Chains A and B, each alone.
Chain A
Amino acid sequence: EVQLVESGGGLVQPGGSLKLSCAASGFTFSGSAMHWVRQASGKGLEWVGRIRSKANSYATAYAASVKGRFTISRDDSKNTAYLQMNSLKTEDTAVYYCTRRYCSSTSCYLGDYWGQGTLVTVSS
Chain B
Amino acid sequence: QSALTQPRSVSGSPGQSVTISCTGTSSDVGGYNYVSWYQQHPGKAPKLMIYDVSKRPSGVPDRFSGSKSGNTASLTISGLQAEDEADYYCCSYAGSYTSYVFGTGTKVTVL
- Chain A residues engaging chain B, CB cutoff 8 angstroms: 35, 37, 44-47, 49-50, 61, 63-64, 97, 107, 109-112, 114-117
Chain A residue at smallest Cβ distance from B55: A107
A63 in contact with B55 (CB, 8 Å): no
In the complex, B99 has a CB within 8 A of chain A: yes
Whole-angstrom distance from the CB of A68 to the nearest CB of chain B? 14
B48 in contact with A109 (CB, 8 Å): yes
Contacts of B91 in A (CB 8 A): 45, 47, 110-111
- Total A-B Cβ pairs within 8 A: 62
Chain A residue at smallest Cβ distance from B102: A45
A110 in contact with B100 (CB, 8 Å): yes
A/B interface sample: 14 pairs, CB < 8 A: A35-B99, A37-B46, A37-B102, A44-B103, A46-B102, A61-B98, A107-B52, A107-B55, A109-B48, A110-B48, A112-B51, A114-B46, A115-B45, A116-B45
User: Chain B interface residue count: which class?
Assistant: 20 to 34
- Chain B residues engaging chain A, CB cutoff 8 angstroms: 1, 3, 34, 36, 38, 40, 45-48, 51-52, 55, 57, 89, 91, 96-105
What is the CA–CA distance of A63 and B91 in the complex, to the nearest angstrom? Answer: 14
Contacts of B105 in A (CB 8 A): 44-45
Of B38, B99, B101, B102, most A-chain CB atoms within 10 Å: B99
What is the CA–CA distance of A107 and B33 in the complex, to the nearest angstrom? Answer: 11
What is the CA–CA distance of A109 and B52 in the complex, to the nearest angstrom? Answer: 7
What is the CA–CA distance of A49 and B99 in the complex, to the nearest angstrom? Answer: 8
